[in-house]
């Protein structure tokens, strides 16, 4: 894998950890030399909420941000001007991301539209020969994750997931310590997220705002009437488009937990909680505690969307409880404790999209798989989907150890996929 000389210190540290068996960095070649793009990779960005950050981030690591796309025209102009000021070239602006896929000069698509778009757009982009940076979670349901993997492999595309902590040097260091035996045997990990979100209100039919293509915003989701409390954020809390707080923020901490413990698929998932704090029509829980049984190890995840007081002293994080000590990460740095609770080390880390975006670009050039490859992405997003399925059916669910599919529960298994609007069904 090619390394950026500006990132030499991080590269040397990771190389040392790799030599000690503390961290695994994939180096599987997935693209032919003929596919290698020119040094300045051309990118289009779909969805300009989080996508605005990605556009600026890609520009900072040397990409050519050629296209900006959003179904709401009011979100495009200001960002396009900012990109032009920084790069000297004004990006093309479109409302339909398929126009980006039509351009043979584009090598990659960044998908930052709402959750129900993540996998369908990824699959279409792979089929069009584009590499993909896909925001989390990589799918709206488990079947979409399976299809996204199949699309990436069929078309030999690099697909990087927006679980960016896999590229942050202090987090890599922390997970390396967990997996090295520094804490002794670690059989249990806990992740969490807390916030102080307000009510969603009631979904009231309203006029579609000028400049918003509501039909294209819905895309693969069966069409619904426009209401005034969906865009541009509250869609997260409705199953039709979103994946709740677990898919929104839980995927980050669950990815750390799964990575640190070295586990892939659970055998049993149990979710408890509900929508308690406000009398509105939010469908996803504001309070949720999920238990994952992997047979010989376990993970729990906790969310409190309306009570910001954190866990282990931080509002977001993951903890690893070992026989010889404990490690707690806030997602950037980490703290070590001995078995008596005495702090033995504290390491402060930085948070930036840069290393993760750079890893994606480097893998496009080299053909290596990225640190948050779509297969790893699916395993972590699946934990969120299973939590939500358990919540929706109101009971524990079990997975077949060979197929990793829900077993013995037809109602829960029916939520493995979803209904699609005619003509938008994802296909590989």
184 & 159 share domain: no
In a domain, 217, yes or no: no
In a domain, 9, yes or no: no
Question: For 246, left (φ over 0), alpha (ψ -120 to 50), or beta?
Answer: alpha
Whether the pLDDT of residue 13 is over 70: the answer is no
176 & 302 share domain: yes
Alpha helices in 181-271 (DSSP H): 214-218, 244-245, 251-261
30 & 124 share domain: yes
387-398 pLDDT per residue, tens? 999 999 999 999
pLDDT averaged over every residue in the chain: 92
In a domain, 275, yes or no: yes
149 & 40 share domain: yes
- Lookup: tokens for 195: 């916030």
| Number of Cβ atoms within 10 Å of the Cβ of 184 | 12
177 & 279 share domain: yes
Give the number of domains in the chain: 2
Average pLDDT over residues 308-313: 96
360-402 pLDDT per residue, tens? 999 999 999 999 999 999 999 999 999 999 999 999 999 999 9
Quick one: pLDDT at residue 11?
34
In a domain, 211, yes or no: no
161 & 284 share domain: no
Average pLDDT over residues 229-258: 97
For 119-148, the DSSP string reads: HHHHHHHHHTT-EEEEPSSS-SSHHHHHHH
Q: Rounded CA gap, 96 and 17, in Å?
A: 44
31-90 pLDDT per residue, tens? 443 454 568 999 999 999 999 999 999 999 999 999 999 999 999 999 999 999 999 999
Of all residues in the chain, the percent with pLDDT exceeding 90 is 91
| Number of Cβ atoms within 10 Å of the Cβ of 30 | 20
188 & 99 share domain: no
**CB contact at 8 A, 94 and 100:** yes
236 & 359 share domain: no
Is residue 18 helix, strand or coil?
helix
In a domain, 59, yes or no: yes
Average pLDDT over residues 243-267: 98
Which burial class, exposed, middle or buried, applies to 113 when counting CB atoms under 10 A from its CB (0-12, 13-18, 19+)? buried
Here the CATH number for the domain that contains residue 43 is 3.40.50.720
Q: Rounded CA gap, 377 and 375, in Å?
A: 5
271 & 407 share domain: yes
Angle, helices 374-393 vs 251-261, to 10°: value is 120
Whether the pLDDT of residue 404 is over 80: the answer is yes
Here the CATH number for the domain that contains residue 189 is 3.30.360.10
**287-293 and 298-304 beta bridge pairing:** antiparallel
In a domain, 81, yes or no: yes
345 & 395 share domain: yes
Whether the pLDDT of residue 236 is over 50: the answer is yes
- CA dihedral (235, 240, 245, 248) positive or negative: negative
Average pLDDT over residues 142-148: 98
Quick one: pLDDT at residue 39?
82
The residue segments making up the domain with residue 289 are 169-196+229-352+380-416
303 & 364 share domain: no
In a domain, 216, yes or no: no
393 & 341 share domain: yes
Whether the pLDDT of residue 165 is over 90: the answer is yes
Point out the least confidently predicted range of 32-41, 125-134, 160-169: 32-41
In a domain, 63, yes or no: yes
Which burial class, exposed, middle or buried, applies to 290 when counting CB atoms under 10 A from its CB (0-12, 13-18, 19+)? buried
Of all residues in the chain, the percent with pLDDT exceeding 70 is 91
Whether the pLDDT of residue 21 is over 60: the answer is no
């Amino acid at each position: 894998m090619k390394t950026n000389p500006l990132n030499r210190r991080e590269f040397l540290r990771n190389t040392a950890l790799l030599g000690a068996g503390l961290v695994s960095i994939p180096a599987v070649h997935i693209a032919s030399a003929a596919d290698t793009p020119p040094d300045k990779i051309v990118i289009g960005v779909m969805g300009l909420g989080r996508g605005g950050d990605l556009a600026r981030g890609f520009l900072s690591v040397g990409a050519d941000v050629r296209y900006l796309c959003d179904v709401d025209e009011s979100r495009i102009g200001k960002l396009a001007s900012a990109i032009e000021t920084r790069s000297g070239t004004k990006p093309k602006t479109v409302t339909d991301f398929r126009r980006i896929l039509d351009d043979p000069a584009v090598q990659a698509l960044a998908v930052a539209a709402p959750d129900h778009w993540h996998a369908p757009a990824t699959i279409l982009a792979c089929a069009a020969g584009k590499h993909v940076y896909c925001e989390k979670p990589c799918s709206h349901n488990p079947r979409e994750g399976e299809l996204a993997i199949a699309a990436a492999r069929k078309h030999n595309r690099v697909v990087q997931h927006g679980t960016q902590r896999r590229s942050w040097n202090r987090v890599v260091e922390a997970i390396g310590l967990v997996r090295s035996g520094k804490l002794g045997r670690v059989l249990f990990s806990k992740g969490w997220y807390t916030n102080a979100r307000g009510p969603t209100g009631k979904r009231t039919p309203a006029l579609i705002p000028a400049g918003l293509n509501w039909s294209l915003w819905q895309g693969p989701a069966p069409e619904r009437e426009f209401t005034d409390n969906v865009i541009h954020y509250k869609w997260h809390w409705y199953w039709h488009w979103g994946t709740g707080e677990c898919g929104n923020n839980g995927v980050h901490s669950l990815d750390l937990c799964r990575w640190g413990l070295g586990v892939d698929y659970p055998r049993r998932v149990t979710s408890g909680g509900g929508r308690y704090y406000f009398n509105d029509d939010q469908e996803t829980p504001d309070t949720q505690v999920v238990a994952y049984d992997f047979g010989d190890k376990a993970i729990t995840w906790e969310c409190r969307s309306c009570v910001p007081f954190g866990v282990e002293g931080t509002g977001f994080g993951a903890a690893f409880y070992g026989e010889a000590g404990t490690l707690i990460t806030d997602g950037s740095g980490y703290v070590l404790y001995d078995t008596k609770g005495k702090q033995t080390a504290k390491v402060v880390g930085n948070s930036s999209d840069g290393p993760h975006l750079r890893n994606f670009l480097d893998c496009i050039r080299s053909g290596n798989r990225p640190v948050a490859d779509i297969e790893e992405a699916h395993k972590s997003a699946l934990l969120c989907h299973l939590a939500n399925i358990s919540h929706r059916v109101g009971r524990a669910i079990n997975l077949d150890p060979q197929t990793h599919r829900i077993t013995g529960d037809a109602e829960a298994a029916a939520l493995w996929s979803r209904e699609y609007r005619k003509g938008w069904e994802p296909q590989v």
